[in-house]
Structure 1
Amino acid sequence: MRKAVEVLQDELRAFRGGRATPGLVDHLRIEYYGNLTPLKSLATVSAPEVDQLVIKPFDPASVKDIEKAIKSSDLSIAPIVEGKFIRLNIPPLSEERRKQLVQQAKQAGEQTKVSIRNVRRDTIKQLEQQQKDKAITEDDLQAGRKQCDDITKEFSDKVDGMVAHKAKEIMES
C-alpha cells in the first residue's frame, strides 16, 4: 500500500500547476550514448522564475539529446537552447486545461485506491487460508481483517488528501 502511495506521489509531481517545478521533467528519459537515462542523472533542473525551468547538463555534449527528448515528450513545451543549458518557458494554463489536469489527478488517485484495495483483498485471502490451515484462530482472523480494513482506510484517506491538495494547487495557480 505504501508503494502505491509513493507511485502516486511521483505521478502527481508530473502534473503541473501554474508554476514551474523540476518535477515536470523528472519523468523524461534521454537517449544518451545508446541508453535511456533519467534526466536527473544527466543534468540539474532549477526553477529560477515561476514560469521558467533551466536545465544545465553535466556534459555539454548532451544538450542536443535533452532537447530532442523534450521535443518528443508529452510536455508540449518548446525548449530554448542557450549555449550549455536549456530554458523552458512554461505557458499559463487555461481554465479548461486546469480542469483536465484535475480529472487526470483524480483518475490517478482512483487507480491508486484500486491498488490499495487489491493489497487488502490479497491479505485477507492469506489470513483466511491461514485460518483454514489452522495456523491462526477465528478471533485472529477477525482481528486481522479489522486491522487490514483500518490500514486500507488510512491509506485511502491519504490518497484522497494528496489528490485534493494537488487539485487545489492546479486550480489556484
Structure 2
Amino acid sequence: MSDDIDLGDIERRMQGALGSLKNEFGGLRTGRASSSLVEPIMVEAYGSMMPMTQVATVSVPEPRMISINVWDKGTLIAVEKAIRQSNLGLNPVVDGTNIRLPIPELNEERRTELTKVAQKYAEQARIAVRHVRRDGLDTIKKADGLSEDDVRAQSDQVQKLTDRYVGEIDTMLASKETEIMQI
C-alpha cells in the first residue's frame, strides 16, 4: 500500500475538533464554579483585547464562588464590564482589587437550555469530523498509484477513525448533559 495518504494528519485534525469541543464544554455552566468558565473572556486592557488570565488570577475558593484577583487596579472596571457583557448570567461583586462571582443555582428551564447548547456544540464537532473525513476520502481518491483495493482499505481506515471520534463526541455529550442536569 502506498504511503501517499497521511492518516496521522487526518487523525490529528479530528483530534483538534474534539479539543475544540472540550473547550466549548468547559465554558458551559453546570451550577458549580469553575475557572474555565471565565478564562476565555476577553478584556479590553492596555489598548488591546486580552484573555482574562493575562490581567488577573482566577481561583475557585468555594464550590459556588469564583474569585478574580485583578493585578492592575486600572483594569478592574474593564474586567467587570467584560464579565457583564459575556452573557454568562453572572453578577460580579467588586471588593477592592478582587471580583467575586457567585454562581447561582440553575433552574430546570436553564438546565434544559444549556443541554441544547451542549448538543449544538457536539453537532458542530461532528460536522468538523465529517469534513475531515470528506477531505481524507477526496485525497485518497485523487492519489496516484493506488489500486482499488488500496483505496477501499484506506477509505475504511478513515471511516473507522471517523466512527471512533464521533463516538467520543457522543460520549462527551452524554457526560456533559448528565453534569448539567445534575442538581
- Whole-angstrom distance in 2 between the partners of 1:72 and 1:127: 46
Give the number of aligned pairs: 170
Is 1:33 aligned to 2:46, yes or no? yes
Is 1:167 aligned to 2:177, yes or no? yes
2:165 partner letter: F
Shift of 1:78: 1.4
Is 1:2 aligned to 2:38, yes or no? no
TM-score normalised to structure 2 length? 0.90
Long gaps (5+) in structure 1: none
1:12-70 deviation line (CA, Å, top 9, x unaligned): 00001121111111220000011000001111111111111000122232211101111
Query: Percent of aligned positions with the same letter in both sequences?
Result: 37
- Whole-angstrom distance in 1 between the partners of 2:170 and 2:40: 23
In the other structure, the counterpart of 1:61 is 74
Task: Please give the root-mean-square deviation of Cα atoms over the aligned residues, in Å.
Answer: 1.0
- Whole-angstrom distance in 2 between the partners of 1:60 and 1:92: 30
TM-score normalised to structure 1 length? 0.95
Long gaps (5+) in structure 2: 1-13
1:150 partner letter: K
2:152 partner letter: Q
In the other structure, the counterpart of 1:11 is 24
Following TM superposition, where does structure 1 have runs of at least 4 consecutive aligned residues deviating by more than 6 angstroms?
none
Q: SS state of the match for residue 44, structure 1?
A: strand
2:61 partner letter: P
2:71 partner letter: F
Q: SS state of the match for residue 87, structure 1?
A: strand
In the other structure, the counterpart of 2:127 is 114
